[in-house]
Structure 1
């Protein structure tokens, strides 16, 4: 699949690594073009730095902080018909709280800002370390990616991409349920940093048999 990753930080680098390894054609965009080129070069023929717009890319992974998300999306051109996977969480500066909640979410606000795109909330509960190291945990357990969107097409595409990278997926309903997924990510961040469990953790849902 033709994919664009916006962001060259730890999460962006993790997506480029895993998507390229899964055989997808990945373009990388970031504020620092030299860094985008360097990141692409690390992953062989399946990864390139973005030249021009996102026109030929079917899916956009938005791997930026929430406060930079809309500007980053608008910087890559026309998003009409594009599927945007939003991984952001609206965090306070100390990462221990959320700046949005109850009546809206980062995912919904991004969707309002780019109504021409189909937005999926996903991967926001996955730490960069987990993404970089791969989806397999101990005892064969896979990390779960929760997906929320008002577009079935977008959600199924995000599911296919996540599973191609080795993740398990769980349908989390419509995009308004990003209001639940973002606090879940906040709890995960607290457990990782505030409670000292480290970043090799991830939430999942267990089904009773």
Structure 2
């Protein structure tokens, strides 16, 4: 399958490398390919320059967001949450019309000025916007009415999304939500190719609100475990 990965951060790189390993034709999208390749310093998360990653994966194609979206039959959104809607709506509508777009972005606002800050080892915990009565996934769907948006991958580090068997034999749960049943079926098929066996459909895209808010619980669990352990959530059914 032809798959577009929008973004060049650590998570996007996980998907690009795994998809290529699985035999897909992968195109990575960025705002300015020349500028992306010219960077020599790590990004704000400490991720090495993309040129270093591309040197180890020379068979990946890097192009603009618009060209990548046009090339993909399925699109994965790895654009940071603060810029996702603006960036996606700048892509010509025909490039995304009718396609499945998997959104795993979290609408974080970093270094927030809030009345009751949550201190973490890396500074104040980002706040979410939108939150509670809306979600980034829903905003993207409203902005792209002809695209089939599925919220997925967001409740887990992307390193684990592409390799659930790295701990616990892969026996943990991945969630999906969206308003298009055929799109969720396509995402479930991709997840099974990654190695997921327990995939729980949460229903409509409204559930993206809870999935995005889970990021704070995920952080709290990670800190409680010492910050160096991979972990997953398992839904135990009666």
Question: TM-score interval w.r.t. the shorter chain?
Answer: 0.7 to 0.9
Task: Report the CA distance between 1:76 and its aligned residue.
Answer: 3.9
Q: Please say if residues 156 and 232 of structure 2, whose CA atoms lie closer than 8 Å, have aligned partners that are also in contact.
A: yes
Q: Please say if residues 28 and 40 of structure 1, whose CA atoms lie closer than 8 Å, have aligned partners that are also in contact.
A: no
Q: Please say if residues 2 and 71 of structure 2, whose CA atoms lie closer than 8 Å, have aligned partners that are also in contact.
A: yes
Task: Report the CA distance between 1:139 and its aligned residue.
Answer: 4.1
Task: Report the CA distance between 1:194 and its aligned residue.
Answer: 6.9
Q: Which has the larger radius of gyration?
A: 2
TM-score (norm 2): 0.76
Aligned length: 206
C-alpha change, 1:42 and 1:123, in structure 2 (3 Å) is same
The SS at the match of 2:128 is coil
Task: Report the CA distance between 1:55 and its aligned residue.
Answer: 2.3
- Quick check: 1:189 aligned with 2:219? yes
How large is the Cα RMSD of the aligned pairs?
2.4
Task: Report the CA distance between 1:163 and its aligned residue.
Answer: 1.3
- Quick check: 1:12 aligned with 2:42? no
Structure 1, unaligned stretches of length 5 or more? none
Task: Report the CA distance between 1:195 and its aligned residue.
Answer: 6.3
Distance 1:141 1:165 in 2: 10
Structure 2, unaligned stretches of length 5 or more? 38-49, 111-123
Q: Please say if residues 2 and 25 of structure 1, whose CA atoms lie closer than 8 Å, have aligned partners that are also in contact.
A: yes
Distance 1:142 1:41 in 2: 34
Distance 1:69 1:149 in 2: 17
TM-score (norm 1): 0.86
Task: Report the CA distance between 1:109 and its aligned residue.
Answer: 0.9
The SS at the match of 2:28 is strand
Q: Please say if residues 12 and 78 of structure 2, whose CA atoms lie closer than 8 Å, have aligned partners that are also in contact.
A: yes
Q: Please say if residues 62 and 87 of structure 1, whose CA atoms lie closer than 8 Å, have aligned partners that are also in contact.
A: yes
The SS at the match of 1:89 is coil
Distance 1:177 1:192 in 2: 23
Q: Please say if residues 4 and 59 of structure 1, whose CA atoms lie closer than 8 Å, have aligned partners that are also in contact.
A: yes
Task: Report the CA distance between 1:191 and its aligned residue.
Answer: 2.1
